[in-house]
Structure 1
Amino acid sequence: MGGFLRRYWMPLVFLGLFGAMWLVQVCVLPPDARHAVIAWASTNLANLAVNPVGTMVASAFVAEDAQGVLLVVAAIGLFPVTRRFGNLRAVVLVAVSHVLGTVVSQGIALVRLELGLLSDSIRTVPDVGPSYVLCAALVAAILYGSGRMQRLLPLAGWCALAPVLFQGLPSLEVAAVGHVVAMLTGALVGGLLLLLERRRTGAAAPAVRASAVRAAASES
């Protein structure tokens, strides 16, 4: 049990925090307080202007609805990614994807607002949930998972969510744009991590061979 916890602390912590927030929203907070939490944690233009870091972190653990589905999809995406890359690199992958998905999608919204293509209400539109994290994890697991089942389950999850993830993309809705950016970032960061891993392994191979040769020579 201890080995499992050490090997997968990243997805376990994420799922634990998200699940705990779900229980608080459903079982503890009255409706007005739930709406207030969602408004506070939303990565919209108004909040990003005054508290970008806190908003970025909080938004990944607060959702408006469908928390049960998000929890399951998080598990089938984060565990394979962690198994393939390790905890710290998995954190980097999903964190970078979450941040870029938010910055690019909200940046496009800001540009469209300044051009008069959107109303000022876009500044305070609710924008919470771990969907950017899930998108990045699912795509990275599909592309780089270490076994067939480590890829098939994330693929099934991605296919099930695809109609929702891309909904509103032709009109450049914030969530849809963020999902696409997070997927692309997950694919690129995962590929970069894999490349670095192979280079490190390749650099270590000559030293290992030299050590084996010295050991053989000393035995003879």
Structure 2
Amino acid sequence: MMGGFLKRYPMPLAFLGLFGAIWVVQEYALPPAARHDLIAWASTNLANLTVNPVGTMIVSAFVAEGSQAVLLVVIALGLFPVTRRFGNLRAVLLVAAAHVLGTVVSQGIAFVRLELGLLTDSVRTIPDVGPSYVLSAALVAAVLYGPGRVPRLLAFAGWAALSPYLFDGLASLEVAAVGHAVAMVSGAAVGGVLLLHERRRARTRTPDARDGGGPGPLPAPA
């Protein structure tokens, strides 16, 4: 039974396992100065994205500044239903697209505002880590497309509980809030595209209703 579960959900289990392992390292193996350096190195801010966009984008999803236990639970409420609904590879596509788009759009807006003189140069090095873009997309996709009422309600409860935090600062275009909003829209949009693709494939596999799906006419006897 456990083996079947592991085979069915390698993506969410791997994500949660890696996030949890880094949490343990941060909490128990690194001194405060090293934890600060790790967060600074992993942050998807303008300074890091200029020199190491790919590495920073990946690592930032697994490093958090706090509340890791809460994040683990809420991520699970989103990732497992999305994976069950779309499969592991498509679930990776959904949350990865949301994470990248949330980062690019939010930091892009910050860059434009910096160039316009609306922000100080300190915005280049702000700490910006955590799986919040991933969980934002996963929760919204689980609410909209999740398999069954209970997973959808649990995902909605997680989303509602975090909404005050996720949207805090959106009116003033703060980086995190903009990223969360973009990630949610991305999760809904990518999930919708995946759903349409599934339905289109299902229609192509369904036998033509006009002939009842039966075999074609038999050849005439010789």
Q: Distance in 2 between matches of 1:5 and 1:217?
A: 47
RMSD, matched Cα: 1.8
Q: Distance in 1 between matches of 2:24 and 2:189?
A: 34
Q: Distance in 2 between matches of 1:6 and 1:208?
A: 36
Q: Distance in 1 between matches of 2:135 and 2:63?
A: 13
Residue 29 of structure 1 deviates from its aligned partner by: 0.2
Structure 1 letter corresponding to 2:163: A
Q: Distance in 1 between matches of 2:17 and 2:210?
A: 44
* Percentage of matched positions with identical amino acids: 72
User: 1:120 maps to what in 2?
Assistant: 121
Q: Distance in 1 between matches of 2:150 and 2:53?
A: 37
**Structure 1, residues 123-175: CA drift from partner, whole Å, max 9, x if none?**
00000000000000000000001100110000000000000000011110000
Gap runs ≥5 in structure 2? none
Q: Distance in 2 between matches of 1:202 and 1:70?
A: 38
User: 2:5 maps to what in 1?
Assistant: 4
Alignment of 1:53-72 (within 5 A): 53-72=54-73
User: 1:166 maps to what in 2?
Assistant: 167
Distance 1:206 1:119, change over 3 A: same
Query: Rg: which structure is higher?
Result: 2
Larger helix proportion of the pair? 1
User: 1:15 maps to what in 2?
Assistant: 16
Gap runs ≥5 in structure 1? none
Structure 1 letter corresponding to 2:198: E
Distance 1:8 1:114, change over 3 A: same
Residue 6 of structure 1 deviates from its aligned partner by: 1.1
Structure 2 letter corresponding to 1:201: A
Alignment of 1:27-66 (within 5 A): 27-66=28-67
Structure 2 letter corresponding to 1:152: L
**Structure 1, residues 161-197: CA drift from partner, whole Å, max 9, x if none?**
0000000111100000000000000000000000000
Tell me the TM-score normalized by structure 1: 0.95
> Retained in 1: the 8 A contact 2:207–2:213?
no
Q: How many residues align?
A: 218
Q: Distance in 2 between matches of 1:209 and 1:35?
A: 66
